[in-house]
Copies of this chain bind each other. A is one copy, B any other.
Amino acid sequence: MAGNSIGQVFRVTTFGESHGIALGCIVDGVPPGIPLTEADIQHDLDRRRPGTSRYTTQRREPDQVKILSGVFEGVTTGTSIGLLIENTDQRSQDYGTIKDLFRPGHADYTYEQKYGLRDYRGGGRSSARETAMRVAAGAIAKKYLQMKHGIVVRGYLAQIGDVACELKDWSIVEENPFFCPDASKLEALDELMRGLKKEGDSIGAKVTVLAENVPPGLGEPVFDRLDADLAHALMSINAVKGVEIGDGFAVINQRGSQHRDEIRANGFQSNHAGGILGGISSGQTISANLAMKPTSSITVPGNTITREGEEVEMITKGRHDPCVGIRAVPIAEAMMAIVLMDHLLRQRAQNGDVNSSVPRW
């Protein structure tokens, strides 16, 4: 109800502010008997962590996760899993100046209107630091999906500004600071970033996430369709302003005869639908795109007002990404994994292990 939980069976509830004592979450509904260690989770946390590239924020926290419960003798027990990351590098002093004004493009104004007050230290709960726990919980989902169903959830940077990156080579995605799958664009991205750093400005991005080997049948009509729940999960990530499934907005100018994915004895002949028909997975690869806005934490001066309504000009100091899209890849993967995991268990709840007699490919 108050919004800090996601999922129905596989349910993740998080807490923690940017400059508080710790971040944490409870992952409920994890099937028992799954091998799980802190290292399984740490890997994705490290991928998300600021400071791993020279183009992301300079905040350097180890982000060491601790498993506090729900794992015994190396495997999950079916009881709720508590995860904790202590905040070790808070630098509260950096943020004192924003106490009494509303940074444009930030949640300062809306938190104040919602709650009548706000934790102004580094954006408090509205900081992207909150996404660390999404990544931690998502790592558990990713492990289960891979281990039990061979499902692979992975993403890449598809565009920054006008530099579009095609999916040419998965192998280089983890080897460059942009999660870019197209080696020929690395230099252009590098140049773009350097320019923005110099200007003190930021830029938007597009991220693509795919899930391969998803069995057909996931998604609950009519409101909790798989695409609807993916849209919810992905749009809940900081800075996301748009979500597409399959061909997305390109469908506006498509014909029915062109868009429908025809079927032959060897399976679907195309995948305009992005792996989801009628809100239910079809067995094809699920694909989603996210549009990430340019961060408003920039040093180009901007107009705003104080809590008392006085006009002021401000800049955002501190450690900030010129493109938050870069860090978004592991977060988007985590959210997609959480949704798929939840829907696998939801499908099993009502329908058991469906042994349909109709073809699967």
0 or 1 for each of A1-40: is its CB under 8 Å from B? (1 = yes): 1111110110101111100111111101111110000000
**3 tightest Cβ-Cβ pairs between the two chains A and B:** A107-B278, A3-B220, A105-B260
Per the bound structure, the CA–CA distance linking A224 and B1 in Å amounts to 8
A261 interface contact, C-beta 8 A? yes
Q: Complex: how many Å from CA A77 to CA B102?
A: 17
- In the bound complex, residues from chain B placing their C-beta under 8 Å from that of A292 are 251-252
Q: What's the least CB distance linking A29 to chain B, in Å?
A: 4
Of A48-56, A57-65, A116-124, A168-176, the segment with at least 4 beta carbons within 8 Å of chain B is A116-124
Interface residues in A213-242 (C-beta closer than 8 Å to B): 216-225, 227-236, 238, 240-242
A280→B251 CA distance, assembly (Å): 29
**A112 sits at the interface (CB 8 A):** yes
Is B9 a contact of A82 with CB atoms below 8 Å? no
Q: Would A255 and B294 count as touching, CB distance under 8 A?
A: yes
Q: Mark A101-128, 1 if CB is under 8 A from B, else 0.
A: 0101111011111111111010011100
Cross-chain contact of A204 among B3, B6, B20, B259 (Cβ < 8 A): B259
Question: A68 touches which one: B15, B31, B241, B302 (CB < 8 A)?
Answer: B15
> Which residues A272-308 have CB closer than 8 A to chain B?
272-274, 276-283, 289, 291-298, 300, 302-305, 307
Copies in the complex: 4
Shortest CB-to-CB span from A109 to chain B, Å, is 6
Q: Are A281 and B161 in contact (CB under 8 A)?
A: no
Query: What is the distance, in angstroms, from A256's C-beta to the closest C-beta of chain B?
Result: 4
Complex CA distance for A116 and B353, rounded to whole angstroms: 10
Given contacts A9-B350, A81-B15, contact A72 B302 (CB under 8 A): no
A93: Cβ under 8 A from any B Cβ: no
A355 to B104, CA, bound (A): 22
Interface check A186, CB cutoff 8 A: no
Contact B282 A109, beta carbon cutoff 8 Å: yes
Q: Is A244 on the interface with B (CB-CB < 8 A)? A: yes
Contact of A346 with B by CB under 8 A: yes
Interface size class of A (residues with CB under 8 A): 35 or more
B216 touches A109 (CB 8 A): yes
A sample of 29 inter-chain contacts (CB < 8 A) reads: A1-B220, A2-B11, A2-B224, A4-B79, A6-B223, A13-B13, A14-B26, A14-B80, A15-B68, A15-B69, A15-B81, A16-B69, A32-B116, A77-B118, A77-B125, A79-B119, A102-B358, A107-B280, A109-B263, A110-B277, A202-B255, A203-B253, A228-B236, A229-B232, A238-B278, A242-B243, A242-B251, A254-B294, A256-B295
Instruction: Closest B residue to A225 by CB, please name it.
Output: B236
Does A43 sit at the interface, judged by CB under 8 A? Answer: no
Q: A222-B14, A231-B243 are in contact. Are A305 and B113 (CB under 8 A)?
A: no
Contact A113/B356 with A2-B9, A221-B79 known, Cβ cut-off 8 Å: yes
Complex alpha-carbon distance, A256 and B204, angstroms: 8
Chain B residues with CB under 8 Å of A202's CB are: 255-257
Contact A204 B351 (CB under 8 A): no
Contact among B70, B232, B351 for A78, CB-based, below 8 A: B351
Contacts of A177 in B (CB 8 A): none
Inter-chain pairs besides A3-B279, A228-B231, 14 sampled, C-beta below 8 Å: A5-B5, A31-B350, A32-B117, A105-B261, A107-B279, A114-B216, A114-B218, A201-B257, A223-B236, A256-B300, A259-B296, A262-B304, A307-B357, A349-B349
